[in-house]
Chains A and B, each alone.
Chain A
Amino acid sequence: MLTVSNNILEMSDIVKEFSGIRVLDHVDFELRTGEVHALIGANGAGKSTLMKILNGIYSMTEGSVLYDGKPVDIKTPRDAYRCGITMIHQELDLVGCRDVAENIYLGRELYKDRAKMILDRKSMYERAQELLDELGFEICATDKVEKLPPAQQQLILIARTVSCNSRVIVMDEPTSSLSSHETQQLFRVIRSLKEKNISIIYISHYLEEIFQVSDRVTVLRDGKNVTTAVTAECTKQQLVQWMIGRETEVQKNIGQSKSEKPMVLECDGLTTRRDFVKDVSFCVRRGEIVGFAGVVGAGRSEIAKMVFGAEKMAAGNIAFEGKPVKIGSPTKAVRKGISMVPEDRKVEGLVLKLSISVNMWLSYLGKCRSGVLKYKDLGKKVQDMIGYLSVKCANRGQPISDLSGGNQQKVAIGKCLLNEPKLLILDQPTRGVDVGAKSEIYMLVTELAAKQGTAILYISDELEELIALCDRIYVIKQGKCVKELDNHTQGLTKATLLQYMVD
């Protein structure tokens, strides 16, 4: 058994609240010297939040961090870096137009003189190359970063963290942009870092990787510790069970099977450029709610956006209401009767500077025959929609930014409904929405499908939601559609869904 003194890092009783909502609830996390410790949990379990606290991006509400046995106060990423903790983000934060050595020494360049005026390029390149060779990376220190593939860019970040004597490296989904061959290369590097007594916190959604690379694994669920175990002693089923928790009975509200209904959307072999999404085929029928399950970054939104014409399609065919169509832009999609509520309300869904009215009728205006606005008619339509969705607001001229998240989301949905779409795409419609508004949205979605016969494509992180609402669920993993599940004939549980998502 290892003793306590072997812990390089101890985070204890970490509590984090965002405007009163507790996202981390007394979480403990220990990291031993020279171990690879996997951190797993379903979407929104709190992994990233915990790591952002460790890295000084967020401040914690309560709790303490011991580093090397001494309490530390990490307030900024710079503090973390001084301690010897570095985080490698999913987005590779490198300066693309500069070369490898310059990136490795970014912010701590070597100088020839004491006043730090004249760069010592020669020794920067020499030492960078030495380091790269020592780590076994086949990268030349004088290469331009932007010309290297993502895997090598990742290695440069690792070299950078090693060169600044980091003793703890946090890797957040490091394989998301890597091929399987490159992933294996990364694992070799991780093992050699271990031999140098560097500790690694490894965040991933994919269990396969966890078993390949980690010594121990900590599972978080709903912001709480579930367990910490030696990876080799666990099974995949066990990990999935821990991530899900006790299986609660989900109240299904899905009515009859729609397999007899006419097709609204048929997609065949959808592929994005650079194969981020590859060869995805699916269909949605009239009055059917079809779910997309998958971990963050699996490509669910990209598929939906291809259907909506908001993402370039490299290959594939789309048929809408039985006829093959080319949907080149959202404008055309809306004209055909497709509407989308995008994932990020504030960035993609709403024009925050404008009023409720304008946001609500924005999409509908394209359908009006006259280019001159009939404020009376429009106002009535908006008012009716506000009533139908029970949007809580003082009046419809109010700026949309005044509303709560749930009410903003209702407006975003209302904007689509004014068009009376034949296909409605909902991307995470209940994210950041309070419980009351959530159940209202569920009811609305069910009613739309049942009464109006709207075909609905429903993307969600919440597995319960998918099981409760969807007739069929497609599981998307690493840009591919790996499974189609029928909610009418198969007894779906969260565990079965998650299993397909992560395994």
Chain B
Amino acid sequence: MKTTNKAKKLLKSNNLTMLIVLLAMVLVSEIINPVFLSMSNVMNLLAQNSIIGVMALGMIFALVTGSFDMSVSSTGALTAVLSTYLFIRSGLAAGILVGLSVGLAVGLINGLLVTKIGINPFVTTLGTQTSVRGIVYIITNAKPVTGIPKAFNVIGMGKIGGVFPVPALIWIVLALLMAFVLRKTRFGQYVFATGGNKRAAWLSGVNTDFIKIMALIISGVFASIGGLIYTLRILMCTADGMTGYELKVMSACIVGGTSLDGGKGTILGCIIGTMIMGIILNILQLAGVSSFWQDAITGVILIVAVGFDSFTSKQRS
């Protein structure tokens, strides 16, 4: 009985549509290029998308509360830079700790500006994105920083049993954690209520400002985790690192069924969205399409996904 109910629920949900799209894409990709489903390509795909995937897990909180976070790319870059210095001088733990506090700080600033001053989240986070990127250039003087101990590479490039990439494992563990937070905790319920109807949530006793601030902090911290994986992958950092990631991360969320109006979104959808985006780019790579085209297509996908969401909600009303 219970399982049939669950099955019905899944059938009705958007996730299933997305899952079908994903499977169809896998099938098509396999037909186009038999290399696609090879073990090494699949693992490669997981590893490549884990940074976007992890950042999307944070971004979804901002989006579901009806907010927005354009600053994740710069937050990731600043994290990479500061942690690189600390990895070199003080070791792994210090680097990770300082790296995460970058996301916490940027998220807190975003949150306070959005809730306490009341600036539009898009403008706020676009502003912090630019400023934080400026700080990255100031610190690095636009020069790449290298010299992270090779041993740390395990986190960015390591493979468990020589097969399964460590970043993908981090992604999966964090996804499970965030699915729990979003579905099984009070905070998660408040996140949905705040995004679904801020006024009603507030009048029910939910401290909606706090929820919005926390959501932006989570988005910032996950951007930092993304930045850490990024820098431990290439064992260096550059001033222009992770440029354009905010749109990729947002596309992953929106393709995965997160609504820009807030109040709607799932972690599973978020993962599927990330994979769909990743596969599209992977196909283009395998087909040898230039990276300029990949950018152009990312933009188109974002607009199509948002358009689909807006259009269906327009139809409903």
Contact = CB atoms under 8 A, between A and B. Distances in A.
Interface of A: 308, 310, 329-331, 333-335, 339-340, 342, 347-354, 358, 361-363, 365-366, 368, 371-373, 375, 415
Contacts of A373: 184-186, 188-189
A372 B182 CA distance: 10
B88 to A, nearest CB: 38
A348 B185 contact: no
Contacts of A415: 204
A349 B193 CA distance: 11
A211 B18 CA distance: 66
Could you say which of A308, A331, A351, A373 has the most chain B C-beta atoms within 10 Å of its C-beta? A351
A362 B202 contact: no
Nearest to A329: B207
Nearest to B197: A351
Given A335-B205, A358-B192, A366-B206, 4 more contacts: A348-B203, A358-B189, A373-B185, A373-B188
A329 B200 CA distance: 13
Contacts, number: 82
A394 to B, nearest CB: 12
B185 A349 contact: no
Interface in B156-178: none
A354 B263 contact: yes
B204 A334 contact: yes
Given A347-B200, A350-B200, A351-B197, A368 B205 contact: no
Interface of B: 184-190, 192-193, 196-197, 199-207, 263-264
A205 to B, nearest CB: 27
A340 B263 contact: no
A281 B198 CA distance: 30
Residue of B190, B193, B264 ringed by the most chain A CB atoms within 10 A: B193
Contacts of A362: 189-190, 193, 201, 204, 206
6 contacts: A342-B203, A348-B200, A358-B192, A362-B193, A363-B204, A363-B205
Contacts of A342: 200, 203
B284 to A, nearest CB: 35
Given A353-B263, A354-B193, A366 B205 contact: yes
A350 B198 CA distance: 10
B197 A365 contact: no
Contacts of A329: 202, 207
Contacts of A335: 205
A353 B205 contact: no
A361 B186 CA distance: 10
A197 to B, nearest CB: 44
A351 B184 contact: no
A256 B200 CA distance: 35
A374 B199 CA distance: 26
A351 B201 contact: yes
A342 B200 CA distance: 9
A150 B108 CA distance: 39
Contact of A365 (B186, B199, B202, B263): B186
Contact of B203 (A340, A361, A375): A340
Contacts of A351: 192-193, 196-197, 200-201, 263
Given A358-B192, A365-B190, A368-B186, A352 B205 contact: no
A375 B196 CA distance: 21
Given A368-B186, A373-B186, A353 B204 contact: no
A354 B262 CA distance: 11
Contacts of A349: 200, 203
